[in-house]
Chains A and B, each alone.
Chain A
Amino acid sequence: VWFSLGGYNERSGRRALAPGDAEALLVSTSSEGPARRVRRAAAVGLADATRTALAAAGRSATALPGLVAERVDPGILEDLADGLTPVVLVTGTNGKTTTVRLIARIVASTSGRAPVSNASGANLRQGVITALLRQRRAIGRRDGRNGPATTNDRPGAVLEVDELALPSVARDVHPDVLVMTNLFRDQLDRYGEMDRIVETWRAMLRSLPRTTRLVICAEDARLDDLASGSGLTTIRFGSEPSSADGVDDMASMVAAADPVSCRVCGEPLQFTWRTVAHLGDFSCSAGHVRRATPDILAVADGTAPRDPDDDAASARFRFHGGFGDADAGVGLAGVAGAYDSAAAIAAAMALGLDPRRAIQALDGASAAFGRLEHAEVDGRHVVLALVKNPASMAASARAALHGAPDGVLLALNDQPADGRDVSWIWDVGFDELGRVPVVGLTGTRADDLAVRLKYGDGSGVGRPAVAGVNADPGSALTDTLRRVRPGGTLVVLATYTALLAIRAILEHRGLVPPIPS
């Protein structure tokens, strides 16, 4: 039943099948006994062979081994997760990869052992299985056997899970903590309506063991609604705007809010302030719902001026909670960095860890690949930021613009992994970006970006003509960099496949590390 909740079968429309359908094909009842053990061994063996073959072909093996393994042994995910403690799942529209990275850092620091995680961001069911298989192999090698770890040697797992894959994964891995970062409008062509995800999650939360702890963003009214109805113990994190990370000075970069209405009366919610899109201090005018006080609050203490010799942009965040105050320097910028840090500390609190120790562990953390990641290219600073939807675009652009960059390269692709519908670019402000001295446009939909910049937001005159429309990401990067002064900064805001293409060029030149598997 869970497999159909992804909904691909129901709304396949013109295409016959879609990503999640592979899951549906894999459902079968699990058998017990020796036959089961043979199946398990065959599954692991085939997954290993697949990994080896992919490696030989120079491809990354982040999903296919898991797909193969589950095809052979449908019960493999539940078995693999059984030996792990604690298990933390992270889902939501934005911030999954960074939040997983931060929680893994905290767990590693407090337990002395790195948890298994899917750092590459392969977050569908098969990606989760692949990550767990890899961990199992590592344990097997160290223990000199190929069996599961002994009880006193159980590592933890911190895994990011796609919004639609969550119900089936949560059912099998029995998470101790489930983190929901936020729920923005995202890739409507793939996910369908947001209400659909909300209802799917609502049903899933009811089926989780009552001991599961939930971590949510206090400023997301949809998540608040879900948590309230779930009956699960919930830790809330939040991030009030501060003057240093002002909302007012870049009001146009706050993405258009997705309409959020009161669950009781259906009226649109009111906000005293918003950080990004619909996240903010919400309430219903009739008093049915309002934002609860967060258990942990992160406030940006201002972004430190970037040291040219330092690879990471560092921000100081001040955290408030029942434990008092503490702060940490984290290589994450802006409101997204504040939320991701707060989410990680909330997850630590949900695991029963001391929040002060968690904050200490965060100090010095750096960004995940393509999340305001820094590189030096041809004597210029390059900041790479993944943008997926209006909310992540607004948050990344605001953070990047704080550094007053000399150039910006916007890269918009419309492959399935980017979202085939690019209409969201009209739900976020572009005037601030259009004012950056050098603007380059690339990607399969660079033409649409040119029109978007031309029409502007109404806060000023749009740019009538943008130089540097170039569909090829590699030559666009070279052209735009050349127009930026030596020693200057170029911000690259790119959708998923465009970011991977640009990053591959930099990786080939040895300027950024390989993406972790």
Chain B
Amino acid sequence: VSASPARGRRLRLAHLFPDLLGVYGDAGNVRTLVVRAEARGIEVGVAEVCAGARSMPAADVFLIGGGQDREQVVVASELRRLAAQLRTQIEDGAAVLAICAGYQMLGRTYRLADGSSVEGAGLLALETVASPDRLVGPAVARLDGWPDEQTAERTVVGFENHSGRTTLDPSARPLATVEIGAGNNGTDGTEGVLAPPGADGMAGLRVGTYLHGPLLPRNPHLADALIAAGLARGGPQEPLAPLDDTAEWQAHRHHVERLRAAHAARERVPARLRRIIDPARNLIGF
């Protein structure tokens, strides 16, 4: 029996393809997990998996970020090459956070405009279709069936910038319901995907989402859920000690309030008038 519950706790993070992805600040997600885990006395190791890596390292949490179309094709082929090793670890309870391009590429397929398809890793039950329109803007969504009982917070904030339209399989659960923004496809009101943990605690938590921002610094409840999930691989754990998250929640709530106010003001203007006002506002920069 260890003297301190913190002693010996270790968290292994794997950051997938930071050399190919990562133009959207998603490295901030890794930084957030490191700082929040270390603040609880947890020893953290980060493995960066770059293009051409011979194997997938053993890890408790896998993170993959967003990127451009060209790099995305390389990422897809790298993920397919290493998919079996990743699948084994996920089935063994490793947690996953996949953002934007990473989210799409962990799905089954990404169908391009010319009708051809890029095959994904097939680890998430979803498909994505390219579209000429980009869905760009700040987003607020409400978490659905969030498994972590430690927090009462149910909003999630971020910034989305994607042309792909993702549709979840009927069996898959969305991460959240869109309040402001477009989400998975701009039509069905879903945002992201959530593979909830199994009966043995948080292990196996898989989160896929279009939300950059980066996601975790302003959504500390999601960050802690991923840390708890990673630790749960080693067996049942004590709940994480709370941290002083005043700055994080201030940023979160302030942003939600601003977006709701702007959204409400916008909704008051008829759509026909908005088509005239918006370009004029953009022209003068406000």
- Chain A residues within CB distance 8 Å of chain B: 10-19, 21-22, 63, 67, 185, 188-189, 192-195, 256, 258-259, 261, 266-268, 415-417, 420-427, 444, 447-448, 450-452, 454-458, 462, 465, 497
Contacts and interface: CB of A to CB of B under 8 A. Distances in A.
B38 to A, nearest CB: 10
A452 B23 contact: no
Nearest to B248: A451
Contact of A268 (B50, B135, B212): B50
B151 interface: no
A448 B218 contact: yes
Given A421-B159, A423-B213, A454-B247, A19 B25 contact: no
Given A256-B22, A259-B71, A425-B25, A455 B217 contact: yes
Contact of B163 (A11, A416, A417): A11
Contacts of B270: none
A426 B137 contact: no
Interface of B: 19-28, 31-32, 34-35, 50-52, 67-71, 74, 132-138, 159, 161, 163, 181-182, 186, 212-214, 217-218, 247-248, 250-251, 254-255, 258, 274-275, 278-279, 281-283, 285-286
15 contacts: A12-B133, A16-B275, A18-B279, A22-B279, A189-B136, A194-B68, A259-B68, A268-B51, A415-B285, A416-B286, A423-B212, A444-B258, A451-B217, A455-B31, A462-B35
A192 B25 CA distance: 15
B133 A455 contact: no
A423 B24 contact: yes
Main secondary structure of the interface of B (DSSP, over half): mixed
A5 to B, nearest CB: 14
Nearest to A414: B138
A420 B137 contact: yes
Q: Which 9 A-B pairs have the closest CB atoms?
A: A423-B25, A426-B28, A11-B134, A17-B279, A426-B25, A447-B251, A417-B285, A16-B275, A193-B68
A87 B133 CA distance: 36
Given A11-B134, A16-B274, A423-B159, A458 B31 contact: yes
B185 to A, nearest CB: 12
B201 to A, nearest CB: 27
Contact of A261 (B71, B132, B217, B282): B71
B70 A195 contact: yes
B23 A258 contact: yes
Given A11-B134, A192-B134, A21 B28 contact: no
A14 B28 contact: no
B278 A17 contact: yes
A268 B20 contact: yes
A17 to B, nearest CB: 4
Contact of A497 (B31, B214, B285): B285
B133 A11 contact: yes
